[in-house]
Amino acid sequence: MPRAIPSSTYRLQLHPGFRFADAAALAGYLADLGVSHAYLSPILQAVPGSTHGYDVVDHSRISADLGGEEDFRSMAAALRAYGIGIVADVVPNHMAIPVPEYLNRQLWSVLRDGRNSEYSHWFDIDWSANDGRILLPVLALPLRSCISEITVKANAGDEPVLCYQSHVLPLRPGTARLPMPELLAAQHYRLAHWRSAAALLNWRRFADVSSLIAIRVEEPDVFSATHAVLLRLVTEGIVDGLRIDHPDGLADPRGYLDRLAVATGGRWIVTEKILAVGETLPADWQCAGTTGYDALAQVGALFTDPAGADALSLQYARFARGPREFGPVAWTARREMAGHIMTAEVARLARLARRTGEPLLARAAAGDLRFILAEMLAAVEVYRPYLVPGSPPSQTSARQIAAAAARARRRTPARAQSALDALSAVLLGRGVPESGQAAQHELIIVFQQTCAAIQAKGVEDTAMYRWPRLLSANEVGADPDRPGADLPEFHAFAARLAREWPATMTTLSTHDTKRQEDLRARLAVLAEAPQEWADAVTGWHARAVQLAGGSVADPDTEYLLWQTLVGTWPIHGNRLSTYLRKAMREAKTATSWLDPDTRYEAAVADLAGAILADETLARGIGAFVAAIAPDACANSLGAKLVQLTMPGVPDVYQGCELAGFALVDPDNRGRVDYARRRVMLDAARSTPEATGPAESSLDATKMLICARALRLRREHPDWFEGSYQALPASGPARDHAVAFSRAGQCVTVATRLPAGLRRRGGWRDTVLALPAGKWQDVLTAATYSGGDIALADLTTSLPVALLALTPAGDAGAESR
């Protein structure tokens, strides 16, 4: 039987092209790789054809598109036969508004019966807005221009329904025979132009996605209904652990995790909690930890030279004429979200603020109240403060609100500053008469849920596409302003995980990362070669202007383009143009999803195609990539070994046991060639590898590291659940080695900042003091005795080493 805590997980993205049966076929491969648990994307019934599963429409059954419950159980049995357990992805925050809408029966009931529906409490609907009707922003044009396309028909059950394009909507009983204008006015929903969602929506959605409606999982019966299938599978022992999607969207994340811990009997649970810089996971959360974005950020920073940041900033500012810091860019994007994209959410908060009865908020001018709410939302720099209605705020939450208020005050007119102070007090649970406390409690909850949405959409999906100084640092949970970190910072982080969250998940790539791990590792080299990068971009830009007859792309997009080319090289035109279109629309500067400038997008795509077709540029980019390849490879291998052996449960995203150079979805959710990986795994398992740090050998060496490290973890779980001890090197190049011991039984050694190491003249007399005993490198089979070992000897074959303590007297390979 699998252990209660996985020794490792392997993420599989399920969709109609990769179903339960396909996952079952990988059981032997995953077992040979050393994985203990298959970590599955959502398995409940989603919108038919869904490529990701986060758009659930029916919690009562396992997805038919993936094979249904019978195939799921067959898959589970196949995995179990190889000793592999299952971790399932849970989506507690939202459901899909499908097309046709009857696919979501709870929503269908609410649309038909309004507040009288037995399911009306499932959804977070503000019935005080829109005359108590649910806004449905589904029309291509304003209603007056679409009304001729709206018809009443009978469905398969001979029930009259409203039809518009592919939408099918229920009719309020007794209204089917009314003339169309009266019929529409009589419904519990209001049809509207899709653009009206930003300003008029009166129900909570997932961030700014109006096809996903939030559910109120804090209601006991909603929790029970939406979790029944998954909890049944946990009770039966088929599912061993859970991954919780977007906990910051919930009304009460802590309460939800408490309830889930009881319902699962304390199974292994990790949450997709995005931690801001300096933020820690609340200590009282009943879970094993996060899904690993914090580890991803720390490992990435460890292998990025902090000394190169200023030079890169100068080069970026010269090229793009943009700001030298990310913070103002992030604030601007959050403010745009609050002031434009999510004005409906701000309007709801304003209504709640008035209902609290706080005098200054009740008397504030409508524009001023919305302004201070938007400023406060934009000024919160974490995904959410954890305020609990009716309870005193924690010191951390109080500091976060006070800091946000101080930032917002700097931009608030004098006439509204008293109202801003009142808002801060109300959020902290003060200053409200008893009659307004229900509204206050709701305000506190909705404010925090909106904070999370604005942070996600403003920073992750806007600012990180606008500020491309060093794209390897533009990742969820990372700090683009501080792309690099020193050894003490990493060791402090890892030691804290070992002490406080030893069973948290760690990862380097996910289905949501903007760039996969080896692409980021390659770009991290730019921080060690800022002048070479500046010279290359200057030359490439001049050639591109010559090809296009002028500058085509805005400077930020062009700077992003050059890094994307280097990071993914070689890349074909369609893949590149698809990515650029998404990146430009997410940045929301020259074009966007709401207002696409297709002519501009086509011009940028043409430029990208011309660059790929130009022999001079292709040769130059290829030469630059080849020049940094050994350093990129050392970064990749070091980051992977550190992630696999540091405190926490390591996850390998599908396919990333080999080099991962994919871009953001859908690029990173494509087909994985497992036949090739089986062949490479067989080679990695059979003989020690002695390849050098050249990128041509990255696939083989990365597979070797994954297979050997994962199997070591599975065979000796107690080593990796034990203590963490930093092992500092000594000598002139000591800062280029990261080394640590786990439980005194194994030692990880990795090379960091390899370009700087080479400029320094190599390791020279730098040594690592190995603890007493005999050690064998599980990657090369070389053996070493305790004491001072030259780093040059440890890294002769590979830029990394994984040493395991062996019983005294064991025979081994050459001892050094």
* Contact present, 417 and 375 (Cβ < 8 Å): no
Predicted pLDDT of residue 158: 85
Position 718 pLDDT exceeds 70: yes
* Contact present, 10 and 652 (Cβ < 8 Å): yes
Mean pLDDT score, 526-537: 97
Position 507 pLDDT exceeds 60: yes
Say which CATH topology domain 531-627 has: Arc Repressor Mutant, subunit A (1.10.10)
Each residue of 643-658: pLDDT tens digit? 999 999 999 999 999 9
Predicted pLDDT of residue 687: 60
Mean pLDDT score, 678-707: 78
Mean pLDDT score, 394-406: 96
Mean pLDDT score, 186-204: 96
Residues 6+ apart with CB under 8 A from 68: 61, 62
Predicted pLDDT of residue 686: 76
Annotate 663-721 with DSSP letters as a single string: BSTTGGGS---HHHHHHHHHHHHHS-----S-GGGHHHHHHHHHHHHHHHHHH-HHHHH
Structural domain boundaries in the chain:
9-93+217-291, 101-214, 329-449+456-464, 531-627
Mean pLDDT score, 725-732: 97
The SS3 of residue 493 is: helix
* Contact present, 204 and 246 (Cβ < 8 Å): no
Position 695 pLDDT exceeds 60: no
Predicted pLDDT of residue 696: 47
Distance CA 316, CA 527 (A): 12
For residue 736, the 8-state DSSP code is G
Give me the chain's average pLDDT, please.
Answer: 95
Position 808 pLDDT exceeds 80: no
If we measure between CA atoms, which residue out of 131, 126, 135 comes closest to residue 97?
135
Predicted pLDDT of residue 599: 97
Position 790 pLDDT exceeds 70: yes
Q: How many CB atoms lie within 10 A of CB 410?
A: 8
Predicted pLDDT of residue 816: 53
Predicted pLDDT of residue 334: 97
* Contact present, 736 and 501 (Cβ < 8 Å): no
Predicted pLDDT of residue 118: 98
Position 788 pLDDT exceeds 60: yes
Predicted pLDDT of residue 154: 92
Annotate 322-337 with DSSP letters as a single string: --S-SHHHHHHHHHHI
Query: What percent of the chain stands above pLDDT 90?
Result: 95
Distance CA 590, CA 556 (A): 10
pTM above 0.85, yes or no: yes
Position 576 pLDDT exceeds 90: yes
Confirm or reject CATH 3.90.950.20 for domain 101-214, answering yes or no: no
Position 669 pLDDT exceeds 50: yes
Mean pLDDT score, 82-86: 98
Mean pLDDT score, 800-813: 74
If we measure between CA atoms, which residue out of 127, 114, 196, 107 comes closest to residue 348?
127
Mean pLDDT score, 184-190: 98
Going by pLDDT thresholds of 50, 70 and 90, the confidence category of residue 220 is very high
Predicted pLDDT of residue 4: 83
Mean pLDDT score, 558-566: 98
Each residue of 17-32: pLDDT tens digit? 999 999 999 999 999 9
Position 304 pLDDT exceeds 80: yes
Cα 5–637–741 angle (5° rounding)? 55
Position 286 pLDDT exceeds 80: yes
Superfamily of domain 9-93+217-291: Glycosidases (3.20.20.80)
Mean pLDDT score, 144-166: 94
Residues 6+ apart with CB under 8 A from 76: 86, 238
Each residue of 345-372: pLDDT tens digit? 999 999 999 999 999 999 999 999 999 9
Going by pLDDT thresholds of 50, 70 and 90, the confidence category of residue 157 is confident
Length of the chain: 816
Position 112 pLDDT exceeds 70: yes
The alpha-carbon radius of gyration of the chain (Å, integer) is 28
Residues 6+ apart with CB under 8 A from 11: 39, 41, 510, 511, 651, 652, 653, 654
Going by pLDDT thresholds of 50, 70 and 90, the confidence category of residue 809 is very low
Position 682 pLDDT exceeds 50: yes
* Contact present, 48 and 65 (Cβ < 8 Å): yes
Predicted pLDDT of residue 811: 42
